[in-house]
Chain A
Amino acid sequence: MALGFRFDLEELAADTIMLNMGPQHPSTHGVYRAVLTLDGEKVVKLENVVGYLHRGIEKLAEDRTYPQIIPYTDRLDYLSAMLNNLGYVQAVEKMMEIEVPERAEHLRIIMAELSRMASHMVMIASFSLDVAGWTAWFPPFREREKILDLFEMASGARMLPAYMRIGGVASDVPPKFFPALERFLDSLPEMIEEVKGLIVGNEIFIGRCKGVGKLDLETALAYGVTGPNLRACGLAFDLRKAKPYGIYPRFEFDIPTLPNGDAYDRFVIRLLEIEQSARIIRQAMAQIPEGPVQAKVPRAIKLPKGEVYHQIESSKGILGFYLVSDGGNKPYRLHIHSPSFVNLGIMPKLAEGAIIQDLVVIIASIDFVMGEVDR
């Protein structure tokens, strides 16, 4: 039976389409742009485009005195603001060899771990939102409100407090801070149970996230992934235990690891890390002594000539501050090694072969913050 026309297989083959998952998208966690080449719904190639939130923090720092840079470091990873503060002030203190008073060190640990918890809570809430588990957004944000109230009690600002200073912290906490902190820590297990009931045990969620965005350990190490993403691949590497800073060696806590390295593990590990941070805070609360909260530092801080690089374990991975000083009261160069920028490097690898729904889950599970990526 002859047909009236002939098929040309070349012409009938499907084309790939280019889709721009642009800076404005409900699920790209900030102003992140991914240029996708799609075959149907499957991603053939993903290209990262960043820079939409570049504010020139490193350049601005060259014209500010060392204490004036602290509010700018808040705005790097704005979800865990005081961890950035901690990295920066410890870098300066390392170079000037300042010793921080005991009370200030304990307060720093409490604030750092609270920031870590706040950041992880945002991650689990927005991850749930990305898989359309709308109700599971509310318990983490409800608890995060309590953390922000604690920050306001201590410093006056909720999200970007700029609380740490070179040589200590800005001010002492009021007397009602510790009872409020205790109440918050007591209400935390309920939130974790609610998230477990709504999301973690849910078969639809498990089907959506297990095996998605699988990252094996060699690839993770080759790309330089750090933080909870690396710990979800099976390696128990945490800078707080590997190269401790501050008074972390005095506290007893576990490093949670999970074996699979898929999106599900990256989600659950942040819940486990919230529990470990709560453990550290309880120990710090028990051990905190009375005393001054700021060491004696000169009014105009001048760093000796030279350079220093200091790393801390931020909520996203290893955050590093590199300072070069020429002897004046302003840095010659400040460079920030941001973990989210490095973690974004595995996006093209993980996205190959994923469909758009999986891509949204992968983006949410890597948990990058564009403030840190673009600086």
Chain B
Amino acid sequence: MSQTDVDRPDSDPGAGHDSQEVSVSEALLVEPSRLSPTRRALTTVLRSRELSIFLVLVAVVVLATSKNESFLFSADGWRNFLLNPSILLLLAVGQGVVIITRNVDLSVGSVMALTAYLTGRLFLEQPGLPVVVVLVACLLVGALLGLVNGALVAYGGVPALVITLGTLYIYRGIMLTWAGSDRINAGDLPREFLQLGTRTVMTIPVLTIIAFVVLAVVGYYLHTARGGRELYAIGSDPDAAVLYGLPVRRRILAAFVLSGALAGLAGALYTARYGTVSSNVGLGIELQAVAAAVIGGIAIFGGSGTVWGAAIGAFLLVTINRALPSLGIEDFWQRAVVGALILGAIVLDRVLAVRQARRLAESRDHS
């Protein structure tokens, strides 16, 4: 509602501007094709939200490393730096895609718990099962659970927040009922599966590689493919997307299926990484995934942001958690720092949006 009142500039400070020599930022905003392609790409990157979040991440890592060499420059430190965020990264990518369509998926933590237990169960009952089969099974189960969410949201005509809050309870309840008082322990799992969680290829953990491949595929799809662009269109104005003839329901369904599938994969990887599955796997991680996406520049009301940002946001959240003790702050304060970061990110978004709207209005008045 307050978006409209900033469209009208009350003053006109840049009235002396000649339309020929507009600033780079204005050109990028109003008529990007006026800039040369390289310059356009460079300015876009330099001004991107992803870069600023990345710089914050670099700053945190540099600070922590300067206090404690082994934060990054030890075999363990380097591995943890890459390994710890990879599960949250998968969830944040899926969550990011859903938020871009102006929905939200709160059930990812429960889906993850369900497939984490499923992984252990499969190995218990079929000890010789190949690892790939288990990963695919988890992916499929996750996709199925996501399909339920998506079908209810897209065809039921009800808000995603309510539906996924409901399925958060249902999926978690199913997992707990199924598991009873069982726990999956590292001893129940085949060695090659556990190695998946710790093995590295050229010092890069396999889990991180999986997460990065997923990120690259989803990011590329969102950036270039028709389906990906339509997700943005749906998120920025659902009604207009319907009028324009976009397959809104199918796209929203696909976004939820993707989010569920990635959460399913994350559950399997969780079991591989930690070796134990207890009842509180992924409890509350859905809010962390939303937080990662929001910090990474995906607007909570859809239509903008990239999964690259969400991925950097996930890295930042997890890294801060590990960096605080090296900085001499008790890690109890981690959540407070995260909260402050989220608030900072959305206030920043608001300020930038207001400024951009004013600039657009000014340049419109000039022409």
Does B bind A?
A: no
Binding site for B on A (CB under 8 A): none
